[in-house]
Structure 1
Amino acid sequence: MEIVSTRQVRVADRLGYWNEVLASTYRGMVVDAQQPLFEAQLSTWRLGSLRMVRPRSSSAVVRRHETRATIGSQATIIAHIIHDGQVQLTQRGRQVSLGSGDMVLCAGEEPYRFDCPSAHRLSVVEFDGAELAAALPQVEDCIARRIPGQTTGVRIFQSYLSALWSEAGQPFEGSMAQTHSQVLVELLGACLAEAEAVAGAGAGGGAADPVLQRIREAIAAGIGDFDLGPATIARECGIPLRTLQATAARAGTTIGQMITECRLLRGAAMLRANPRRSVIEVAMACGFADPSYFARRFAQRFGQSPRDYRAMH
């Protein structure tokens, strides 16, 4: 296992040093620091055909493959587990907000971006894309979609991964490494199956509703728009307004309720991630033109005011 850190590097040189480290680990990756005092550490370890990485850093924006000239031919699927902090992934036109415990998959050879507004710590596992697709045909549909951390599958995956990392200082023979690699693939398959079942239950059916998922993604992408409403979402999703409303009704909700819920959850995440940001700024960023209305709805949803919620977290 290899560990690199900015600890011994001059503050003025840390960002440049860290970009060199990242470029040697993931080709085409660039990081922009979000504060003057940038700190980061990266642990890497190979287990059979898998590459595993544990990054942590202060607030940053991480981009990969900003220009398609940097994209290679070997497809990889990269699983990210958030241990600490709030992270937003953008890939394939989707924006996914992630919190502690959540998992998300990226297509490693396609452009993506992670926005990390606060200090964060992740575990990352890089799979061979062709091998993973052969073992888990559904994996392509799960790219850039949140896999909730509260599901049993994700918790078991994290526990197993942590147990492996505790043994990283010991040599693994080829057959043993391959066995553990295969176990991780099978556990990932369990995570995807459970996440699909949970999404299906939320959609009011036995399988995930792709239209409902598109609606949720459109809401998340436009959450800062004060005028966001059913007509805008229908236009973004490319579906008739009547279909939009019927899809929400099958899930036991309305488009207005979905928008408000998304705004409140985003506001709660922002309050946790940046305690110094004012409640007014958070309200505006989440699409509430009236901060007092935001405070009232927030208290109804979370049982305390935004200020009290921020103090508790």
Structure 2
Amino acid sequence: MHSVVGLTHRFETRYPAPTPDVPRSRNRENAMQKPNVARYDSADYPSAQLAFDTYRTVISDIFDVRRREGDERPFAAQLAARAFGEVFMHSGQHTSSLFDRDAERARSDGLDDICFAFSMSGAWSGRFLDRERTMAAGEIVLMDRTQAVRLLTPDDHLTVVNVPRRRLELHGTVLSGLHGEVLADSGGAVLRDYVLSLVRHDAAGMAVGDALIVILAGVLDAREVMLGDKPHTDVVARVLDYIGSNLDDPDIDPAKIARVNGMSRASLYRSFKEAGLGIQSVITAQRLLEARRRLSMYPETRITDLALDLGFSSASYFTTVFTQRFGISPRAFARNEKSDLLKGTLIAERRVQRWGATFRARPPV
């Protein structure tokens, strides 16, 4: 378990950013720093019906969209879609609408994202498989794109963020059972405020998306501890959080953990035994998950530097336990991630470009 604050504190900007195997021209380098944004405004179209048809066309990547039954008002909306590395986000104001993603579509269209969404002032509702949910203003709802969902949105500003499932799994985040869950706690507020800051400042870049994934993983980790089946005591939760925040300490061991947390080693071992956990195995497992996370974000990281930074005694020992845990060597994992990161980034960027091309193809007013 990691606290959201602990995870964001450990976000390592000193590791080299990924360098995909693509031509590195000056224009390419500049483009990586500019916001990849597609913008839509219904006022740019000669009729409300044409504006809605265009809006429905781009959203059809994810949802079937229709107007709310009995609502005869002209459709109006403003929308901005952005890509932050592999993260795709769209945010804007629109007239109340019904968004439907049925089970057949969820099974067949290949989208495998974890999504979260929130409205800032109006309550809204959804059906997630067989569960009905109502979300208050500011509350975040989690969605699994491989599951059916129907949403009825208000006349309000709605923000939707899509994160590839693979990126969250690399953090060791448990993703089962989250479809339709509502985050109304402080962790959800941190996530929401960070996303809103990205919109306000027109942020851009892979590092922004990486930071957002770290925060989301932290929020979901905290949720899993609260909802999980293991009887985590306050002591175990506190110690797990301490371990997660100090993985780069080479001297971290049961004796130091007990001393820092004001308990005897016997009490520490007893608390973890009651929770069905081994303290040393937890330390190693957390370090390995963090190593995998860093390699996924920064595939060109030197294996020796990573091993020593995370408190492993040597690169060879790290390689051995990493391979035993994940079935692949860290170097091979990094090569695969470099390829996957490029593919995921291109998918998000091309979606924004496709939306933008559709918006720009509008007839003149």
Question: TM-score when scaled to structure 2?
Answer: 0.47
Deviations 1:189-230 (A, max 9, x none): 232244456668xxxx869xxxxxxxxxxxxxxxxxxxxxxx
More deviation in 67-76 or 37-46? 67-76
1:141 matched residue in structure 2: 177
Unaligned runs of 5+ in 2: 1-36, 234-365
2:33 paired with 1:5 = no
Counterpart amino acid of residue 178 in structure 2: C
For residue 100 of structure 1, report the CA deviation from its aligned partner.
0.8
Change (3 A) 1:136 1:161: farther
2:74 paired with 1:46 = no
Percent of counterpart pairs with the same letter?
16
Counterpart amino acid of residue 77 in structure 2: A
2:225 paired with 1:188 = no
Deviations 1:202-259 (A, max 9, x none): xxx869xxxxxxxxxxxxxxxxxxxxxxxxxxxxxxxxxxxxxxxxxxxxxxxxxxxx
2:153 paired with 1:153 = no
2:30 paired with 1:30 = no
Q: 1:167 aligns with which of 201, 209, 217?
A: 201
Change (3 A) 1:103 1:52: same
Change (3 A) 1:194 1:46: same
SS in 1 for 2:217: helix
Deviations 1:260-310 (A, max 9, x none): xxxxxxxxxxxxxxxxxxxxxxxxxxxxxxxxxxxxxxxxxxxxxxxxxxx
Counterpart amino acid of residue 7 in structure 1: A
SS in 2 for 1:138: coil
Change (3 A) 1:21 1:91: same
Distance 1:101 1:69 in 2: 26
Deviations 1:9-62 (A, max 9, x none): 313434323212322xx3443232342122122210111111111032122211
Counterpart amino acid of residue 116 in structure 2: A
For residue 67 of structure 1, report the CA deviation from its aligned partner.
4.1
Q: Is the 2:174–2:224 Cα contact (8 Å) retained in structure 1?
A: no
Q: Is the 1:28–1:70 Cα contact (8 Å) retained in structure 2?
A: no
2:237 matched residue in structure 1: none
Counterpart amino acid of residue 110 in structure 2: S
Distance 2:225 2:166 in 1: 25
Please give the residue correspondences for 1:134-283 in structure 2 after superposition, counting only pairs within 5 Å.
134-148=170-184, 151-168=185-202, 172=204, 177-195=205-223
1:245 matched residue in structure 2: none
1:237 matched residue in structure 2: none
For residue 139 of structure 1, report the CA deviation from its aligned partner.
2.2
Deviations 1:55-112 (A, max 9, x none): 3212221112464388322411111122121111212222211011111111123321
2:160 matched residue in structure 1: 124
Distance 2:227 2:129 in 1: 20
**CA RMSD, Structure 1 to Structure 2 (Å):** 2.8
SS in 2 for 1:46: strand
2:122 paired with 1:94 = no
Distance 2:191 2:226 in 1: 17
Distance 1:88 1:62 in 2: 11
2:96 matched residue in structure 1: 59
Distance 1:70 1:206 in 2: 35
Q: Is the 1:30–1:64 Cα contact (8 Å) retained in structure 2?
A: no
Distance 1:198 1:69 in 2: 28
Q: Is the 1:40–1:57 Cα contact (8 Å) retained in structure 2?
A: yes
Unaligned runs of 5+ in 1: 208-313
SS in 2 for 1:20: helix
Change (3 A) 1:100 1:197: farther
Q: Is the 1:65–1:109 Cα contact (8 Å) retained in structure 2?
A: no
More deviation in 6-15 or 98-107? 6-15
For residue 128 of structure 1, report the CA deviation from its aligned partner.
0.6
Distance 1:165 1:96 in 2: 26
Distance 1:71 1:55 in 2: 28
For residue 129 of structure 1, report the CA deviation from its aligned partner.
1.4
Q: Is the 2:106–2:145 Cα contact (8 Å) retained in structure 1?
A: no
Question: TM-score when scaled to structure 1?
Answer: 0.54
Change (3 A) 1:140 1:69: closer
Distance 1:164 1:153 in 2: 17
SS in 1 for 2:44: coil
Distance 1:43 1:27 in 2: 16
Distance 1:198 1:119 in 2: 33
Q: Is the 2:89–2:160 Cα contact (8 Å) retained in structure 1?
A: yes
Distance 1:5 1:162 in 2: 20
Distance 1:147 1:3 in 2: 28
